[in-house]
Amino acid sequence: MFIRKGRCVSSALLLILIGTLLSPGCLYSETEPDQVTLQINWYHEAEFASYYVAAAKGFYQDENIEITIEEGGIGISAYKRVLEGQADFAVATFYDQKKMLQADEPGITVMATFQIPPTVLFALADSGIQAPQDMVGRKVAVKASYWRSIIHDTLTNAGVDPSEIEEVEVDADVIEMLYNEEVDVWTGYAHDEPIMAELAGYEVSMIFPAYYGVGDYEGLLVVHQDTLDKDHDLVARFVRATLKGWQYAFEHADETAHILHEWNPDSSLEFHTRALRALIPLVDTPQDPIGWIDDERWQQGMGDLSSSEHPRYTIEFLE
């Protein structure tokens, strides 16, 4: 039996050849799509663009995957949801992966979104602060211990004693302190806070800690070792669709901004457009393919926790 111009035509010989049993009504039964849950590690924003695009453009569907994207936020540990079986994939930080390795937990990284970490220190352009050395004697906002570490490491690597700045502990959502010159330096992500400042009418100058050797791969896509072992093909299909999502996003930035706006209507279309353009050079670098992980860099970042036998990452889906 086969279909010709929408009509069912009997063919016993074809049934034998294809070894398929069809219903009397000539119904075509496809393989049910794999139901996959992705847990992102923050609220909906540009750094997750590939997943939104791959879903919107049918790239996951092409790989026989039906995806559910769960929003993250304060108090939600994305990678733990994978470890606990509540999600199939999660977006995690390099620090998360280090914690999994330290605790011997079965989380495996299968791609890294950011080749260059998106963390930035930034100031109003008219402040004259353009490099770590310019921060001496200035008031620097410190949101948390995580940011204090980044600030100190950046200064140290630039040859500046961290004690030479004035640290001001702040809440993460009071960026107006920068506008009002209550602090001279703010911290954030290249695709977020600096764009907020620009849209508020302020020109800013940014310092990337990565240029001073601070930071590692970020935006890691993590899967449970059991999933990798039992459904290797599913992981391969998911990564393939996700990479296609990034490629499409970069080639169709304006369309992608509209897709981002659908996921996060609270931010303006202009914000999403600028955010996407800000992260493109951090994700799509000339040195490596999108998603790539270099073994030497990975092992260096993991430090004493590194293990050549069990590095807790694989690039087999990117080669």
What is the DSSP secondary structure assignment for residue 204, as one 8-state letter? E
Q: Give the mean pLDDT of the chain.
A: 91
Interatomic CA distance for residues 4 and 21, integer angstroms: 18
3-state secondary structure of 242: helix
Residue 2 three-state SS: strand
CB 86 within 8 A of CB 287: no
pLDDT digits (tens, 9 = 90+) for 172-202: 999 999 999 999 999 999 999 999 999 999 9
Q: CB neighbours of 37 closer than 8 A, spacing ≥ 6?
A: 67, 68, 69, 70, 86, 87, 88, 89
Res. 2: pLDDT tops 80: no
Comparing 35-116+216-305 with 119-212, is the CATH topology the same?
Answer: yes
pLDDT at position 226 is 98
Distance CA 77, CA 74 (A): 8
Cβ-proximal residues to 271 (8 Å cutoff; 6+ apart), any chain: 195, 196, 199
H/E run at residue 177: helix 176-179
Each residue's pLDDT tens digit, 139-156: 999 999 999 999 999 999
Q: What CATH number belongs to 35-116+216-305?
A: 3.40.190.10
Quick one: pLDDT at residue 265?
A: 98
Nearest-angstrom CA–CA distance, 84 and 263: 26
pLDDT at 4: 30
Domain boundaries, the chain: 35-116+216-305, 119-212
pLDDT at residue 3 greater than cutoff 80: no
Q: Which CATH superfamily is domain 119-212 in?
A: Periplasmic binding protein-like II (3.40.190.10)
pLDDT of 64 strictly over 60: yes
Three-state secondary-structure class, residue 153:
helix
* Percent of the chain topping pLDDT 90: 88
